[in-house]
């Protein structure tokens, strides 16, 4: 029976912490080259020959001063959960700032291991880290790693297995008056805490009067701890001493941080060797990607390119899949007839469940399987923060935060993910702006639908896929423009305020690990999203088939509902069926199209293949025109968030009021936009 | 002079950081304190924010926030 060891994984944001965590535990935390991907503590396990490890991936932070919720989570874990060891993951290409966190962690925890990650990238930039010297200076174990490499992981585990107790632990020396004050307080604290919390660190925090800590201390050390006369009088004495030396509370915090920063600076200067051209490639790329002339065109180009590749490559596998499903349908149908299944069961399963499923898979899977890896490549390379950099000014003029651009990018994958991602925005008001408008970026559930409609109704001829991509790009740009307008509108009405201060890190560019990206994005994202869509599509298919086949007064329930909604749908340039499909598509946008198709099919048109041409015929037969197509695209772009997004918004805002706003706002917007479009169109 | 007046390629030392709208704390987190060397390495296409090299990391700061960061001694 081996011992259980809990190891916390700490580190600055975007240093490859999640990559190491995944490699260690075989888990699939999503990684990306920007600050703030990990927002909760994730837990994973690893069994070495000596120990059973429990790894806890705590949020990436720059410091443990508890200025933000993530920092508080990280600090509280390190301080009060008493992990057996803490691995602080550092970026070898900018070690100095990472050491800041190392030193702060060392102040709290006894068993720290420094993992200098991204050694390969440092080497490529001609930066060398003297690991032995670093180990000597810090007095803790230091391991150099290359995130995803097996060898790195093993050497990290090896170091953990050795479980050395550090003797020459670096102790930070503060300016004289502070040290004297600590000398007064520290022994008293030590006396009353039974060694389960670092007395020096706690003394510092008490002198700083850190309010975020008060509750934690009370629950951890007992309510009476801060009331203890012994401690109270020592604290008072220490504070008086600081006051007589003219040190205020603010000075104190600054002085503590300054001391740590300077210590990090002096350690770095003795362990790092770099050439003056170390970061020159990054600067060169930045001068292109953020250039005044090319910055914006390149952004559009990348996005357009991704769409173009997606659309032109997706056609073929889509066709293939749909042929396969048609074949399968015939076989299944024959099989069921052979087994003597009653006709209602046959229709219900084949025409209801199977058809819906096969649509979702054949139309959704190929674009997703192409789009996700491409987008992940862009994400991994470090380009996305540059978008936030380029777009900051427009966001600022909407009184919002430039990081909203990043959350919008996440929205392309899934709006629920985008909404969660809004946590990277510190100001509460700006975060709400980003959450409420995230839905205006079409997610992966929606844009295959939009692509399908564009290809069916708006693009013909030789350059179809290029044209489709451009049109999709136009739709996205429309969504982005709407985001700005809505953000501005909100910021001058219900969410008034001035933009808060803003620091955005532009991480070094990294060469994406292409095979890994492809495998990860297909297995983790594509199949995940598809799985969710399929699990909604099957019951939805059944439900809609039942609605289409239960007759009341000579017409099916579906027809009743559709004709009830029809007048309103017509106002929007849609029809009752489309509107009903959007309403029933609330659980997942992916099923909107299959519902429309099934409802139309039920009316007696077209019975076989689900290819786009056959589909177009079906839609035209049901009264679709180009205007209908455009209206559907507009409605799809602007309408209410899906159920998953709504739940996520509720969770993130913690408020029913804002959740209601997040649903009502796009609903009203979509209705207005479609009505105006159809009104204007009728004028011509 | 404040930090935003720095042009691309210019380096300077930080003179003083005034507390304003809580940015000081964030600047402390990234290691921007008195006497830190800072280099301007980029400007957003629309002129604001600018990107600065601070302790080997590139951080974008807005004009409004930079007005609280005074600089001295251009470093060649």
pLDDT at A125 (0 to 100): 86
pLDDT in tens, A113-137: 999 999 988 888 889 999 999 999 9
Nearest beta carbon to residue B31 from set A97, A291, A502: A97
> A94, B53: Cβ pair inside 8 Å?
no
- A539 and A639 fall within a common domain: yes
- A201 and A331 fall within a common domain: no
pLDDT at A32 (0 to 100): 54
Asked whether residue A483 carries a pLDDT value surpassing 90, the answer given is yes
Q: Locate the DSSP E strands across A101-212.
A: 112-117, 127-129, 141-144
For domain B3-75, give its CATH number from 3.40.50.2300, 2.30.30.90, 1.20.1090.10, 3.40.228.10. 2.30.30.90
Q: What residues of A are in contact with residue B61 (Cβ under 8 Å)?
A: 502-503
Residue pair A435/A420 in contact (Cβ under 8 Å)? The answer is no
Chain B interface mutation, best of A502, A507, A510, highest count of B Cβ atoms under 10 Å: A502
- Indicate the number of domains in chain A: 3
- A680 versus A602: the higher-pLDDT residue is A680
CA distance B17 to chain A (A): 11
Which residues span the domain enclosing A198? Answer: 176-247
Mean residue pLDDT of chain A comes to 86
Element (H, E) at A10: strand A3-11
ipTM surpassing 0.85, yes or no?
yes
Q: What residues of B are in contact with residue A96 (Cβ under 8 Å)?
A: 31, 55-56
- A428 and A485 fall within a common domain: yes
pLDDT in tens, A277-321: 878 888 999 999 999 999 999 999 998 898 889 888 887 888 888
CATH (domain of A66): 3.40.50.300
Measured CA to CA, the distance from residue A384 to residue A7 in angstroms comes to 31
A238 CB contacts (<8 Å, ≥6 apart)? A181, A182, A184, A185, A203, A207
CA distance B34 to chain A (A): 9
pLDDT in tens, A11-29: 988 788 888 888 888 765 5
CA distance A252 to chain B (A): 13
Nearest beta carbon to residue B44 from set A67, A100, A392: A392
Q: Locate the DSSP E strands across A521-633.
A: 551-552, 555-556
Give the A window 257-276 contacts with B, CB below 8 Å: 257-258, 261, 264-265
The mean per-residue pLDDT over the stretch A654-664 comes to 94
Q: Name the residue of chain B whose CA is nearest to A269's CA.
A: B55
- A314 and A342 fall within a common domain: yes
Q: What residues of A are in contact with residue B51 (Cβ under 8 Å)?
A: 286, 290, 389, 506
Q: What residues of A are in contact with residue B42 (Cβ under 8 Å)?
A: 283, 286-287, 290, 389, 506
Asked whether residue A490 carries a pLDDT value surpassing 90, the answer given is yes
- A205 and A310 fall within a common domain: no
* Helices A249-271 and A131-138, packing angle to 10 deg: 150
Asked whether residue A38 carries a pLDDT value surpassing 70, the answer given is no
Measured CA to CA, the distance from residue A505 to residue A97 in angstroms comes to 12
Nearest beta carbon to residue B30 from set A62, A500, A508: A62
- A222 versus A301: the higher-pLDDT residue is A301
Residue at a domain's end among A137, A162, A187: A162
pLDDT in tens, B28-51: 878 888 889 999 999 999 998 999
pLDDT at A578 (0 to 100): 94
User: Both tokens of residue A365?
Assistant: 């899977």
Does residue A510 belong to the interface with chain B, where contact is any CB pair within 8 Å? Answer: no
Measured CA to CA, the distance from residue B41 to residue A285 in angstroms comes to 11
Cβ pairs A/B, distance under 8 A = 124
- A455 and A600 fall within a common domain: yes
For A139-142, the CB contacts below 8 A with 24+ separation are A139/A166, A139/A167, A139/A168, A139/A169, A139/A170, A140/A106, A140/A112, A140/A113, A140/A114, A140/A166, A140/A169, A140/A170, A141/A113, A141/A114, A141/A166, A142/A113, A142/A114, A142/A115, A142/A116
Q: Has residue A254 been placed in a domain? A: no
Q: Has residue A508 been placed in a domain? A: no
pLDDT at B17 (0 to 100): 85
Q: Name the residue of chain A whose CA is nearest to B22's CA.
A: A501
CA distance B68 to chain A (A): 11
Nearest beta carbon to residue A505 from set B34, B44, B57: B57
- A116 and A230 fall within a common domain: no
pLDDT at A5 (0 to 100): 87
pLDDT at A295 (0 to 100): 92
Chain A interface mutation, best of B24, B38, B52, B55, highest count of A Cβ atoms under 10 Å: B55
Asked whether residue A171 carries a pLDDT value surpassing 90, the answer given is no
Residue A142's pLDDT band (cuts 50, 70, 90):
very high
User: Both tokens of residue A7?
Assistant: 């190891």
Does residue A295 belong to the interface with chain B, where contact is any CB pair within 8 Å? Answer: yes
Does residue A394 belong to the interface with chain B, where contact is any CB pair within 8 Å? Answer: yes
User: Which range scores top for mean pLDDT: A39-48, A95-104, A370-379, A499-508?
Assistant: A95-104
> B60, A500: Cβ pair inside 8 Å?
no
- A230 and A374 fall within a common domain: no
Q: Has residue A482 been placed in a domain? A: yes
> A97, B56: Cβ pair inside 8 Å?
yes
pLDDT at A485 (0 to 100): 95
Residue B5, φ and ψ in degrees, nearest 5 = -75, -10
> B57, A97: Cβ pair inside 8 Å?
yes
- A338 and A449 fall within a common domain: yes
Hey, where are the domains in chain B?
3-75
pLDDT in tens, A183-211: 988 888 888 877 778 888 888 888 888 77
Q: Name the residue of chain A whose CA is nearest to B66's CA.
A: A501
Residue pair A477/A299 in contact (Cβ under 8 Å)? The answer is no
Residue at a domain's end among A129, A162, A195: A162
- DSSP state letters, A234-302: HHHHHHHHHHHTT--HHHHHHHHHHHHHHHHHHHHHHHEEE-TTTTHHHHHHHHHHT-TTTHHHHHHHH
pLDDT at A131 (0 to 100): 93
Q: Name the residue of chain A whose CA is nearest to B39's CA.
A: A283
- A404 and A538 fall within a common domain: yes
Could you tell me which residues of chain B have a Cβ less than 8 Å from any Cβ in chain A? 19-23, 25-31, 33-34, 41-49, 51, 53, 55-62, 64-65
pLDDT in tens, A599-643: 887 654 444 455 677 788 889 988 999 999 999 999 999 999 988
pLDDT at A165 (0 to 100): 67
Asked whether residue A39 carries a pLDDT value surpassing 80, the answer given is no
Q: Name the residue of chain A whose CA is nearest to B57's CA.
A: A94
Asked whether residue A141 carries a pLDDT value surpassing 60, the answer given is yes
CA distance A483 to chain B (A): 19
User: Which range scores top for mean pLDDT: A192-206, A352-366, A651-665?
Assistant: A651-665
Does residue A396 belong to the interface with chain B, where contact is any CB pair within 8 Å? Answer: yes
pLDDT in tens, A365-399: 888 888 888 888 888 888 989 999 999 999 999 98
- A141 and A208 fall within a common domain: no
Alpha helices in A3-86 (DSSP H): 17-25, 69-80
The residue to which tokens 């029913």 are assigned: A656
Q: Has residue A236 been placed in a domain? A: yes
> B56, A295: Cβ pair inside 8 Å?
no
Asked whether residue A31 carries a pLDDT value surpassing 60, the answer given is no
Element (H, E) at B71: strand B69-75
φ/ψ region of B9 (left if φ > 0, alpha if ψ in -120 to 50, else beta) reads: left
- DSSP state letters, A112-136: EEEEEE-HHHHHHTTEEE-HHHHHH
Q: Has residue A377 been placed in a domain? A: yes
> A286, B41: Cβ pair inside 8 Å?
yes
A437 CB contacts (<8 Å, ≥6 apart)? A404, A483, A486, A487, A490
Peptide bond into A218 cis (omega under 30): no
- A579 and A461 fall within a common domain: yes
Element (H, E) at B40: strand B37-43
Residue pair A346/A355 in contact (Cβ under 8 Å)? The answer is no
Q: Has residue A278 been placed in a domain? A: no
**Looking at A330-344, A458-472, A569-583, B50-64, which range is the least confident one?**
A458-472
How many CA atoms lie less than 13 Å away from A145 in the CB half-sphere? 34
């Amino acid at each position: 029976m081996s011992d259980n060891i809990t190891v916390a994984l700490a580190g600055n944001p975007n240093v490859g912490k999640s990559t190491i965590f995944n490699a260690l535990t075989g888990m699939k935390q999503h990684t990306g080259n920007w600050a703030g991907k990990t927002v909760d503590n994730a837990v994973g396990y690893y069994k070495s020959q000596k120990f059973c490890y429990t790894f806890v991936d705590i949020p990436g932070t720059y410091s443990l001063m508890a200025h933000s919720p993530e920092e508080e989570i990280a600090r509280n874990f390190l301080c009060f959960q008493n992990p057996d060891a803490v691995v602080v993951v550092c970026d070898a290409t900018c070690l100095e700032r990472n050491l800041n966190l190392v030193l702060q962690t060392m102040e709290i925890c006894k068993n720290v291991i420094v993992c200098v990650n991204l050694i390969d990238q440092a080497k490529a930039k001609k930066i060398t880290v003297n690991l032995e010297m670093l180990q000597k200076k810090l007095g803790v174990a230091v391991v150099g790693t290359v995130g995803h490499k097996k060898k790195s992981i093993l050497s990290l585990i090896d170091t953990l297995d050795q479980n050395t107790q550090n003797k020459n632990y670096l102790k930070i020396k503060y300016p004289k008056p502070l040290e004297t004050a600590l000398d007064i307080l520290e022994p008293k604290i030590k006396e009353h805490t039974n060694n389960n919390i670092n007395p020096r660190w706690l003394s510092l925090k008490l002198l700083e009067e850190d309010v975020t800590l008060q509750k934690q201390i009370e629950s951890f050390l007992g309510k009476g701890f801060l009331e203890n006369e012994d401690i109270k009088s020592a604290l008072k004495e220490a504070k008086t001493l600081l006051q007589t030396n003219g040190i205020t509370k603010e000075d104190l915090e600054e002085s503590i941080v300054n001391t740590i920063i300077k210590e990090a600076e002096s350690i770095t200067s003795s362990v790092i060797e770099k050439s003056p051209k170390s970061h020159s490639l990054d600067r060169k790329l930045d001068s292109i990607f953020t250039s005044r002339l090319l910055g914006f065109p390149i952004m559009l180009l990348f996005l357009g390119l991704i769409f173009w590749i997606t659309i032109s490559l997706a056609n073929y596998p889509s066709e293939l899949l749909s042929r396969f499903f048609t074949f399968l349908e015939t076989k299944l149908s024959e099989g069921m007839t052979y087994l003597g299944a009653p006709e209602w069961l046959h229709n219900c399963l084949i025409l209801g469940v199977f058809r819906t499923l096969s649509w979702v898979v054949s139309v959704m899977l190929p674009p997703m399987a192409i789009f996700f890896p491409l987008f992940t490549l862009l994400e991994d390379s470090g380009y996305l923060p540059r978008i936030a950099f380029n777009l900051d000014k427009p966001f600022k003029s909407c009184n919002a935060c430039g990081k909203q651009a990043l959350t919008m990018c996440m929205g392309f994958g899934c709006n629920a993910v985008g909404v969660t991602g809004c946590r990277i925005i510190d100001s509460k008001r700006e975060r709400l702006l980003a959450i409420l408008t995230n839905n205006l970026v079409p997610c992966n559930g929606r844009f295959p639908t939009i692509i399908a409609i564009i290809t069916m109704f708006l693009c013909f001829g030789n350059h179809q896929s290029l044209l489709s991509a451009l049109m999709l790009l136009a739709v996205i740009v429309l969504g982005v423009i709407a985001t700005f307008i809505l953000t501005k509108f909100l910021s001058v009405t219900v969410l008034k305020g001035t933009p808060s201060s803003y620091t955005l890190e532009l991480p070094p560019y990294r060469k994406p690990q292409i095979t890994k990206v492809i495998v990860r994005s297909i297995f983790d994202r594509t199949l995940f999203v598809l799985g969710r869509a399929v699990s909604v599509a099957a019951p939805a298919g059944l439900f809609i088939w039942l609605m289409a086949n239960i007759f009341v007064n000579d017409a099916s329930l579906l027809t009743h509902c559709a004709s009830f909604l029809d007048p309103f749908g017509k106002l929007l340039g849609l029809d009752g069926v489309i509107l009903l499909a959007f309403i029933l598509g609330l659980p997942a946008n992916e099923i909107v199209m299959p519902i429309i198709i099934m409802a139309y099919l039920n009316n007696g048109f077209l019975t076989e293949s689900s290819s786009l041409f056959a589909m177009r015929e079906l839609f035209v037969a049901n009264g679709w025109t180009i205007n209908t197509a455009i209206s559907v695209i507009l409605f799809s772009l602007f309408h209410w968030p899906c159920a998953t997004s709504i739940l996520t918004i509720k969770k993130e805002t913690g408020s029913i009021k804002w959740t209601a706003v997040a649903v009502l706002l796009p609903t009203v917007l979509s209705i207005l936009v479609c009505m105006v479009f159809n009104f204007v169109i009728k004028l011509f | 002079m404040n930090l935003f007046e720095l042009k691309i390629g210019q380096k300077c030392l930080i003179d003083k950081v005034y507390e304003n709208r809580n940015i000081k704390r964030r600047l402390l987190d990234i290691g921007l304190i008195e006497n830190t060397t800072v280099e301007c390495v980029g400007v957003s296409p629309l002129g604001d924010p600018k990107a600065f090299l601070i302790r080997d990391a590139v951080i974008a700061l807005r004009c409004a926030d930079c007005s609280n960061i005074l600089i001295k001694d251009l470093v060649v």
